[in-house]
Amino acid sequence: MGSRVFRSSLVAALLVVPLITSACGSDPPTSSPTPSSGPAEFVEAIPATALPGAPADPVDLDAAAIAVDAVDAVDAARLESLLNQAGFVGGTQRQFSRVRAGRRRILARVLSFQTSEGAARYLEWLTGHADDVIGDATPNAGVQVPNDGVVFLHEPDPCCHNETRSFLAMWHDGSTVITIQIAGEGARESDVPELLSQLDESV
């Protein structure tokens, strides 16, 4: 999958990101990483050509941003704490959108942890909280996900005309967690396996 993480001393000097931990140091990582005061590490941006659609600019993610986006304010602090305890290093996301052949929005994320155990710990949390991300969610065993991951399906409420079908897929490769949300009237189950494969090969 290639190297996804690179150091950026310039960015670390410009941004105060105390919640992002570091995997640097001479000691090997353990299954229970602790935050480091060293330079922050950032995840290489998802390529603009990774998925079909018009790509937005990449966005760097810290633990606070992920926590606020995933759950309501009551549980955000708890998730942020879990991310740091799991050895979260840094993350990136990029959105891809289209309007033809049915509006569709794809949000792809790559999150890096100090260890594979840390990545698995976050993935376990996310699997149990898919409803917090896309609404009422049901696992869809009919869609193949890389590395034995899982995909959830949210079907819109017929009474709510603003809702659309959405998918949330997630998997981890070593210390990296990859997630993808696909939503909109153009979100079709038949397209999901190819989109997951494309993202997995691109990051």
pLDDT tens across 23-70, in order? Answer: 334 343 333 344 433 334 678 999 999 999 999 999 999 999 999 887
Question: Nearest to residue 175, comparing CAs of 16, 8, 26, 33?
Answer: 33
Per-chain mean pLDDT for the chain = 81
Number of neighbouring beta carbons within 10 Å of residue 160: 9
3-state SS assignment for residue 76: helix
Spans of the chain, pLDDT less than 50: 2-40, 73
Q: What is the pLDDT of residue 158?
A: 66
Q: How far is residue 144's CA from residue 25's CA, in Å, rounded to a whole number?
A: 37
Q: What is the pLDDT of residue 130?
A: 92
Q: Model pTM? A: 0.77
Q: What is the pLDDT of residue 8?
A: 39
Token duo for residue 134: 């896309």
Q: How far is residue 71's CA from residue 30's CA, in Å, rounded to a whole number?
A: 28
Burial environment of residue 59 by CB neighbours within 10 A (0 to 12, 13 to 18, 19 or more): middle
